[in-house]
Amino acid sequence: MVVLIVLGWILGIFLLLGTLFFLFYRFVFLRDPERNIPPGNVVVSPADGKIIQITEISAKTAQVRKGWLGKVLISPLFNGHCYLISIFMSPLDVHINRAPVGGNAASIKYNRGSFFNAGNLEGSFSNENNQILFHTAIGNVLVVQIAGFLARRIECWVKINQKVNKGEKIGMINLGSQVSMLVPKRGLRLNVSIGERVKGGESVIAHVVR
């Protein structure tokens, strides 16, 4: 009798935890609030979260670091200097990704993550990522969706040659992680700083000053 009661309690706890997880996933993780897309010549945030990196680069191949979990190599196809901006998405942030500017999806490159050396965590894990290159009025803009360590699943909702508008939904990353983007430095004035929280499709990352 006592054993049955204990088993009943254990089953009840598991059912409660499962229900709570479902409610969290359905109403927190999958939420998709309306966003007020700012007008004018501006670059908006591609994701919700906190800005963890703003770097000026000039190399044709850039390396995006994701803490101690790994690194992602990207080939931005930029001429001249550009800004690399990374946004950390926590499990509590909205996970929808949006186009930072209007343009055409010129290429989409998906890279499956894998472990190379389990004994060396620093730089040994290449995270799953999806790189979307847009041809825009301000030049090439690259959005990189980077999956997390636990839930490596990326959804991309655009196709090659598809035209997108500023702030339009382009995909999502399950259970959060990171979104990085590269934008040309020339003709842009940054409007954000490291540590600042932003909203996808709504927060202004940069003003076009050409």
pLDDT, tens only, 172-189 = 988 768 899 999 999 999
What residues does each domain of the chain span?
Answer: 1-30, 37-208
CA-based torsion, 187, 189, 194, 198: positive or negative: negative
- Check residue 135 and give its pLDDT: 96
Average pLDDT taken over every residue of the chain: 81
Residue 121 has pLDDT above 60, yes or no: no
Active site residues: 177
**How far apart are alpha carbons 144 and 179 in whole angstroms?**
6
The rounded percent of the chain whose pLDDT value lies above 70 is 72
- Check residue 119 and give its pLDDT: 31
Contact 115, 133 (CB under 8 A): no
Which CATH number, 2.70.70.10, 3.40.50.10490, 3.90.1150.10, 3.40.50.300, labels domain 37-208? 2.70.70.10
What are the Cα distances from residue 45, in Å, to 89, 143, 172? 12, 10, 14
| DSSP for residue 69 | G
**How far apart are alpha carbons 127 and 51 in whole angstroms?**
19
Amino acid (1-letter code) at residue 94:
V
**What pTM was computed for the model?**
0.80
Please state the rounded mean pLDDT for residues 8-23: 70
- Check residue 111 and give its pLDDT: 84
Compute the radius of gyration of the chain from its Cα atoms: 19
pLDDT, tens only, 88-97 = 998 889 999 9
